[in-house]
């Protein structure tokens, strides 16, 4: 009896040896692909290097306190981010399920079998009733992972879990940029609405003057008609921006995931919003390999690489083991007596001989999937580089546009002031005054839009760089760079 118990124990130890040995797979050795990055940022100008440049967390980029609070609320309440977090839990559970296949699944069993044999079938010629009772402990069809098939599948599930986590960070990064941009857009549209109201008040006052001049015969009917046209145009603009402000508030509410209170709404002009802190200059292009979407693509590549190991392992034998130990008796009272002990040990080896090329095709399919993931990883890096270069190119242009638009507002304002005086003095026609008035209003609206574009470009650049990484990650990227790339300072 003791020798039988030793034999069963030895079977359990043999089954568990691959678990403790672990780590041996037939997957190709993974080497991180060299990112296909150009030698320098294609921003349209020569840029100086700034040693020690670091990416920043979004809290360092955003300086406006209401904007920060909205972002924090969005990170808690946004439904898209909540779905991404739940997908992580699902991927983690799937990884744990796959990892469990490395271990034998041990179950306790108990059963009873009661059977009556009729007289015609009985060897004694009399009907008989038999009873069998059993209890046991064991595992069924446990596969010894000698060639790393299950280990490869576990590695694949782990990489997919990590890819899901990186995708969640990508959604979080996008959410921060979307909330900040929506906040700035709302502030700009509220400023546009205030400007539209101001223009309407000015046009109404101008209409009143023209009506007085018309009543005294100084102005003609054409001047009166033109004045009325400007009033109606101003009313259309005011209604347009009132609607846009409401839409902006609704979008911001959805992004934040809750209704917005008055204290969370931005100021009524972009000038009253605390400016964004500049993104540091001198960042190496290697920081792009730490972007969440690029990391997710790399984890998918690693998962595909691990799947090749699982496909290759199918060329080799698989060994399954079923074993159990317990007690069986025809009487319940005798079930746990020494004489009722029983055990079973059933190893089974399966060697593939002929599968009509299915195994080879499976390996080729896994290798093709790995190549697809490699191409997608390279595309993700190239897309990230293009997005940063586009933002850098727009940055210098937008700075010049803001300066030019500011000068235009001053010049058109002076022209409007002089045209008004000349019209009231009877020197110029009302048409000249109207043209100057329209130019002044258009330039002021253009200045608001240009300032918004500049701020939105800064947020887009932060997102394109994969902002939010720790300083250590970026320092390591800079140290690994053979030729650090630089970028201009964004204001």
Question: Which residues constitute the domain of residue 192?
Answer: 23-116+147-317+369-480
Using CA atoms in the order 266, 270, 272, 278, what is the torsion angle rounded to 10 degrees? 100
Q: Is residue 247 part of a domain?
A: yes
Q: Is residue 66 part of a domain?
A: yes
Q: Which residues contact 274 (CB under 8 A, 6 or more apart)?
A: 63, 64, 65, 67
DSSP 424-442: HTTSS-HHHHHHHHHHHHH
- In this predicted structure, the answer to whether residue 472 has a pLDDT above a threshold of 60 is no
Q: Residues for the chain: how many in total?
A: 491
Residue 55: predicted pLDDT? 60
Q: Is residue 402 part of a domain?
A: yes
Q: How much is the average pLDDT of 241-249?
A: 92
User: Residue 173: enclosing H or E segment and its boundaries?
Assistant: helix 149-215
Note whether 189 and 250 are within 8 A (CB).
Answer: no
> Which of the 8 DSSP states describes residue 111?
E
Structure tokens at 71: 């972002």
Give the whole-angstrom CA distance, residue 365 versus residue 314: 14
Residue 487: predicted pLDDT? 31
| Structure-model confidence comparison of residues 364 and 477, the more confident one | 364
Q: Is residue 422 part of a domain?
A: yes
Domain count, the chain: 1
Return the minimum-mean-pLDDT range out of 16-20, 225-229, 230-234, 272-276. Answer: 16-20
Q: Is residue 352 part of a domain?
A: no
Residue 482: predicted pLDDT? 32
Q: How many CA atoms lie within 13 A of 376 on its CB side?
A: 16
Q: Is residue 85 part of a domain?
A: yes
Note whether 330 and 130 are within 8 A (CB).
Answer: yes
- In this predicted structure, the answer to whether residue 21 has a pLDDT above a threshold of 70 is no
Structure tokens at 405: 């638009």
Give the whole-angstrom CA distance, residue 415 versus residue 69: 43
Note whether 273 and 184 are within 8 A (CB).
Answer: yes
Note whether 469 and 258 are within 8 A (CB).
Answer: no
Structure tokens at 54: 């670091």
* Confidence (pTM): 0.77
Where b means 16+ CB within 10 Å and e means fewer, 155-179 reads bbbbbbbbbbbbbbbbbbbebbbbb
Please count the other Cβ atoms lying within 10 Å of the Cβ belonging to residue 388: 27
Residue 230: predicted pLDDT? 85
Give the whole-angstrom CA distance, residue 296 versus residue 344: 47
Q: Is residue 136 part of a domain?
A: no
Q: Is residue 3 part of a domain?
A: no
CATH of the domain at 98: 1.20.1600.10
The closest alpha carbon to 229, from 217, 218, 221, belongs to 221
If you average pLDDT over every residue of the chain, what do you get? 81
- In this predicted structure, the answer to whether residue 307 has a pLDDT above a threshold of 90 is yes
């Amino acid at each position: 009896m003791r020798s039988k118990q030793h034999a069963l124990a030895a079977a359990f130890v043999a089954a568990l040896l691959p678990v403790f040995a672990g780590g041996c797979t037939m997957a190709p050795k993974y080497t991180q692909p060299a990112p296909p990055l150009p030698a320098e940022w294609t921003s349209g100008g020569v840029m100086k290097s700034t040693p020690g440049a670091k990416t920043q967390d979004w809290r360092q980029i955003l300086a406006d306190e209401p904007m920060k609070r909205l972002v924090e609320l969005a990170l808690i309440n946004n439904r898209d981010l909540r779905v991404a977090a739940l997908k992580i839990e699902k991927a983690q559970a799937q990884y744990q399920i796959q990892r469990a296949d490395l271990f034998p699944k041990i179950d306790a069993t108990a059963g009873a079998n009661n059977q009556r044999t009729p007289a015609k079938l009985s060897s004694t010629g009399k009907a008989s009733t038999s009873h069998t009772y059993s209890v046991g402990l064991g595992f069924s069809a446990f596969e010894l992972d000698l060639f790393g098939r299950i280990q490869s599948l576990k590695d694949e599930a782990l990489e997919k879990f990590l890819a899901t986590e990186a995708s969640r960070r990508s959604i979080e990064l996008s959410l921060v940029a979307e909330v900040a941009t929506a906040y700035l857009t709302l502030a700009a549209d509220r400023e546009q609405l205030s400007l539209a109201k101001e223009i309407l008040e000015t046009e109404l006052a101008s209409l009143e003057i023209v009506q007085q001049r018309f009543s005294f015969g100084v102005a003609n009917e054409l001047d009166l008609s033109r004045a009325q046209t400007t009033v109606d145009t101003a009313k259309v603009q005011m209604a347009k921006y009132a609607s846009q402000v409401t839409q902006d508030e609704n979008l911001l509410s959805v992004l934040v995931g809750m209704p917005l209170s008055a204290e969370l709404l931005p100021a009524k002009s972009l000038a009253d919003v605390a400016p964004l802190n500049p993104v540091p200059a001198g960042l190496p292009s290697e920081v792009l390999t730490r972007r969440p979407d690029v990391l997710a693509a790399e984890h998918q590549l690693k998962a595909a690489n691990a799947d090749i190991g699982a496909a290759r392992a199918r060329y080799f034998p698989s060994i399954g083991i079923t074993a159990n130990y317990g007690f069986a008796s025809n009487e319940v009272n005798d079930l746990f007596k020494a004489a009722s002990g029983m055990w079973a040990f059933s190893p089974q080896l399966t060697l593939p001989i002929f599968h009509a090329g299915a195994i080879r095709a499976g390996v080729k399919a896994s290798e093709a999937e790995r190549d697809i993931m490699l191409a997608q990883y390279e595309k993700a890096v190239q897309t990230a580089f293009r997005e940063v270069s586009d933002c850098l190119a727009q940055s210098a242009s937008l700075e010049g546009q803001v300066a030019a638009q500011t000068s235009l507002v001053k010049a058109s304002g002076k022209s409007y002031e002089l045209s008004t005086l000349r019209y009231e003095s009877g020197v110029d026609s009302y048409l000249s005054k109207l043209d100057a008035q329209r130019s002044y209003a258009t330039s002021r609206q253009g200045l608001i839009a240009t300032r918004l574009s500049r701020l939105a470009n800064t947020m887009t650049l932060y997102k394109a760089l994969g902002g939010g990484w720790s300083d250590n990650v970026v320092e390591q990227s800079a140290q690994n760079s053979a030729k650090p790339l630089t970028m201009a300072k964004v204001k």
